[in-house]
Amino acid sequence: MSSIYYKETSLNRKYFVIIFSIFLLPLLASFAVYFFSEEIGLNSKNFGTLLTAAVPLGSLDLRDPEGNPFQQDAIHGRWVLVYHPGVSCSEQCGKDLKALEKVRLALGKDYGRTDLLLLIAPSQNLGSGSAVKTVAVIDDINRNKLAAATGAGGEYSSPLLLLADGNGNVMMSYGAAIDQKSVYEDLRWLLKVNKSPIKARLFN
């Protein structure tokens, strides 16, 4: 008799725990999101424009300045600011590149987790971009392909800034006017999210 009573009591407790958990878990989840959303990045807002479909840099026929296939391994694993100056790397191009380098420097110890890739046309003179370490040549076909995918239209008539993830996928566009603070905030948040394995699984 006592054995049957004990089993029934134990079963009733299990049912109670299950029912209690069903009602309690959503409450705990809401509590976590409300109080820790900033820590895990749920309340973040990107300043750049997210692309509908990412564009792998590997899908573009990029070349190095010597005409050899561009070695994407050089930037693999880094968040890359991809900059195309438009018609030529003129005085404005030089200012933009300096501004982007300042953004990277502002990231402090995370500077090495980023890179700056300058895209130029085959006949284009580096000009003010000669100090940039990572340079790739992009022809008209691939340039227009990238422009169309990023919503910049068929041709690059003005500077364009893009952001690629650690796998070389262009996933965000900033347009012609470079806002250092906006680029910095996006990079800072993305680097923060990707530091933690748990956060990386949540947001990648």
Amino acid identity of residue 62, one-letter, is L
The dihedrals phi and psi of 116, each to the nearest 5 degrees, come to: -125, 120
Task: Assign 157 a pLDDT band (cuts: 50, 70, 90).
Answer: low
pTM for this prediction: 0.72
Give the homologous superfamily in CATH for domain 49-203.
Glutaredoxin (3.40.30.10)
Task: Assign 128 a pLDDT band (cuts: 50, 70, 90).
Answer: low
Question: What is the per-residue pLDDT across 96-126, written as a single tens digit (0 to 9) for each?
Answer: 999 999 999 999 999 999 999 999 888 776 6
204, 190 in Cβ contact below 8 A? no
Query: Long-range contacts: 172-176, Cβ < 8 Å, 24+?
Result: 172/46, 172/48, 172/49, 172/50, 172/51, 173/48, 173/49, 173/51, 174/47, 174/48, 174/49, 175/49, 176/86
Task: Assign 184 a pLDDT band (cuts: 50, 70, 90).
Answer: very high
Share of the chain above pLDDT 70, in %: 66
**What's residue 34's pLDDT?**
38
Is residue 172 exposed (0-12), middle (13-18) or buried (19+ Cβ within 10 Å)?
A: buried
The domain ranges of the chain are 1-43, 49-203
**What's residue 104's pLDDT?**
95
Check whether 1 has a pLDDT greater than 70.
Answer: no
Q: Tell me how far apart the alpha carbons of residues 185 and 163 are, in angstroms, rounded to a whole number.
A: 13
Higher-scoring residue by pLDDT: 119, 151 = 119
**What's residue 31's pLDDT?**
42
Question: What is the per-residue pLDDT across 65-85, written as a single tens digit (0 to 9) for each?
Answer: 888 999 988 888 999 999 988
